[in-house]
Amino acid sequence: MSQRLHLVFGGELVDPSSTKFRDPSQIHMVGIFPDYDSAFAAWKSEAQRTVDSAHTRYFIAHLHRLRDEERAVSATEELGD
């Protein structure tokens, strides 16, 4: 069974109704978590901390979906060999 890693990150958006960051170099990387529950807790903490900033949003990325060990290697990975 593969690990189900989750990345929590966020920052200031150009517009609260979009997902485009105002300055991608200033994205806050909260951390990588071993399960959804701990990632959700971290996300919730950051979301509550920044509740007064309408342009600030935090997200949970499912890193385990980016790489599935059971699948064949993608063409991108083959370029590195």
For the chain, domain boundaries: 6-79
| pLDDT tier, 25 (very low <50, low <70, confident <90, very high otherwise) | very high
Kindly report the average pLDDT of the chain as a whole number: 85
Helix (H) or strand (E) holding 60: strand 56-62
pLDDT, one tens digit per residue, over 66-78 is 766 666 655 544 4
Grade residue 4 by pLDDT with cuts at 50, 70 and 90. Answer: confident
pTM: 0.77
Fold of 6-79: Alpha-Beta Plaits (3.30.70)
How does DSSP assign 10-59, residue by residue?
EEEBSSTTS--BS-GGG-EEEEEESSHHHHHHHHHHHHHHTTT-TTEEEE
Instruction: Report CA dihedral (35, 66, 8, 51) to the nearest 10 degrees.
Output: -110
Residue with structure tokens 């971290």? 42
